[in-house]
Amino acid sequence: MTDKPFEFEKALKELEDITTWFESTDVDLDQGLDKFERGMELASQLKAHLVTVENRVEKIKQRFSATTTGETAQPGPDSQAGLFGA
């Protein structure tokens, strides 16, 4: 089984569609529970992806900051911490 790359835009669109569904007037309770669970899964995946991207941006910024100051970029103990505090 091959892992497909995470499609951020597709996941965000699906989450938006679920939100729109909940805003409709005719919401089935059982179907709503399934959609709520899927929405929570999507939100978790989106947040994890954003943290990964955020960490990558910080590493790039550190690398280029060190390059412009003539230092060698060294990852610090906080290099895995994201801006979301996750």
Q: What is the pLDDT of residues 25-52, one digit of tens each?
A: 788 999 999 999 999 999 999 999 999 9
CA distances for 19 relative to 8, 16, 49, 81, 83, angstroms: 17, 5, 20, 30, 26
17 found inside a domain: yes
- Taking 80 as the threshold, does the pLDDT of residue 2 lie above it? no
75 found inside a domain: no
pTM, 2 dp: 0.68
- Taking 50 as the threshold, does the pLDDT of residue 86 lie above it? no
Domain that holds residue 47: 8-68
| Nearest residue to 53 via CA among 17, 11, 83 | 83
35 found inside a domain: yes
CATH of the domain at 53: 1.10.287
- Taking 80 as the threshold, does the pLDDT of residue 76 lie above it? no
CA distances for 28 relative to 12, 13, 34, 39, 51, angstroms: 23, 21, 10, 16, 34
Higher pLDDT, 24 or 78: 24
| Nearest residue to 6 via CA among 58, 35, 44, 34 | 44
Domain count along the chain: 1
85 found inside a domain: no
